[in-house]
Structure 1
Amino acid sequence: MTDTGATTDNPFFARLWTFLSNHETKEIQRLRTENLAGLSGRVLEVGAGTGTNFAHYPATVTEVVAVEPEVRLAPQAQAAAQKAPVPVTVYAGTVEKYLSDAVGEPFDAVVCSLVLCSVDDPDSVLQQLFSLVRPGGELRFLEHVATGGIRGRLQKIADATVWPRLMGNCHTHRDTEASIVGAGFAVNDARLEPALPAWLPTPVAEYTIGRATKPAV
């Protein structure tokens, strides 16, 4: 595990995310598997958390570089990497720091799972990720996103008050697909899935899951 020093430290969120990742529903596990299906070659995973994705990578993936900034989650990701069916290297630092230091061959794919809500500037991060993917390569995304109506208004209030502070800088009212397109990717396939039952009083409402491609030029 590479430790860069450019990390985050949110004890409450780390404990909560550890609990949630150890009690994931079959539905979210199904979505993780679907999101990674068919990948091959060299993959960059942004926001590894406790390494929940690692067990779902297909054997056609030859290398995963996984970035995780939270100081209490990165060691758990490293432990998961040692059990993964494919080679995984964990980079303990922010994605912004990784992107500023990145060198070497381009990646065949980038995977973003429940992370673009928490970066300070998703448009900038996606533009930099675009530059690290080979022409014709993919972005796979599984992210919770903005919704409309009363829930959407709740999201805006939550994002402007306590939610980001409690939930690791999570912002629930982001148009992530628009940011992906704005970075230069072409979204080939995407759909919305319910994140939680509609009656739950939480700002998190829907996931978007999909695939985007960097034009081959």
Structure 2
Amino acid sequence: MGRSTGAHPLFARLYPRSAEYEDAHGGLEHRRELLAEVGGRVLEIGAGHGANFRHYPPAVRQVIAIEPEPQLRRLAERAAADAPVPVEVRAGYAERLPLADGSVDVVVASQVLCSVRDLPRALAEAGRVLRPGGRLHFYEHVRSRRPGFARTQRALDLIWPLQGAGCHLARDIERAIGEAGFVIERIRRFDFLINGRTTPSSPRVIGVATRR
């Protein structure tokens, strides 16, 4: 799973269906877990079609949602109208966030770090816009901790990004978060199986990291 890094009309048509399928098989609970303790002013990078918006808790004062793909952004704007908290949808890229330094309490990354063009820069931008002590809440598919499975992911990465708008299977996102200056407070590693089946994107993490 990934997020678009520009205009990808085919991906934009298919992604909402794929996300809905995952939600129907357990993904909804993952979204709720991701957002349960979020509050204050929130930035969501790569918001896609806005599937997270209805799960933000009352403690959230405002969500600024960044999405570069035009068709997904239009869908996100519709979802924002029905959200339980104020949501502002903006065009933009994770590597060049249109926000001031230290201007948000929380950054949410939900199945987006797999597809950003420059992962270290995107995480550096997340750290820049967070206030001191602000938190990064992340839910991502990641490189497997099983060597054999990880080798398969690396092999598939030769073609996978072409069909997934830049989505990579073999990124070590947990390590990248640490190298970007975040301290991971908690993390849950698991395999997301749908109907008992493993897919190349089954290895997942949900966690919270604090800006140093």
Q: Given the two structures, how large is their TM-score scaled by the length of structure 1? A: 0.89
Q: 1:20 aligns with which of 11, 18, 21?
A: 18
Name the CA distance, whole Å, in 2 between partners of 1:190 and 1:184. Answer: 16
Structure-1 residue corresponding to 2:114: 117
Name the CA distance, whole Å, in 2 between partners of 1:47 and 1:184. Answer: 21
CA change 1:183–1:105 in 2 (3 A) is closer
1:164-205 deviation digits (Å, cap 9, x = unpaired): 011010001011011111111110100112123597474212
Q: Shift of residue 153 of structure 1?
A: 1.6
Aligned-residue sequence identity (percent) comes to: 42
Structure-1 residue corresponding to 2:140: 143
Name the CA distance, whole Å, in 1 between partners of 2:85 and 2:94. Answer: 21
Q: Shift of residue 58 of structure 1?
A: 0.4
1:140-179 deviation digits (Å, cap 9, x = unpaired): 000000013332122111112x210110100010110111
CA change 1:105–1:152 in 2 (3 A) is closer
Q: Shift of residue 12 of structure 1?
A: 2.2
| Structure 2 spans left out of the alignment, 5+ residues | none
Q: Is the 8 A contact 1:13 1:168 kept in 2?
A: yes
Structure-1 residue corresponding to 2:131: 134
CA change 1:105–1:186 in 2 (3 A) is closer
Name the CA distance, whole Å, in 1 between partners of 2:171 and 2:209. Answer: 18
Structure-1 residue corresponding to 2:152: 154
Structure-1 residue corresponding to 2:8: 10
Matched residues, number: 206
Matched, 1:186 2:189: no
Name the CA distance, whole Å, in 2 between partners of 1:144 and 1:87. Answer: 28
Name the CA distance, whole Å, in 2 between partners of 1:10 and 1:202. Answer: 23
| Structure 1 residue ranges, 4+ long, deviating more than 4 angstroms after superposition | 197-201
Q: Given the two structures, how large is their TM-score scaled by the length of structure 2? A: 0.90
Name the CA distance, whole Å, in 1 between partners of 2:102 and 2:121. Answer: 21
Give the stretch that moved more between structures: 8-17 or 68-77: 8-17
| Structure 1 spans left out of the alignment, 5+ residues | 1-6
Structure-2 residue corresponding to 1:41: 40
Name the CA distance, whole Å, in 2 between partners of 1:197 and 1:203. Answer: 12
Quote the RMSD (CA, aligned, Å): 1.8
Q: Shift of residue 13 of structure 1?
A: 1.4
Name the CA distance, whole Å, in 2 between partners of 1:51 and 1:9. Answer: 17
Aligned residue for 1:96, secondary structure, equals coil
Aligned residue for 1:127, secondary structure, equals helix
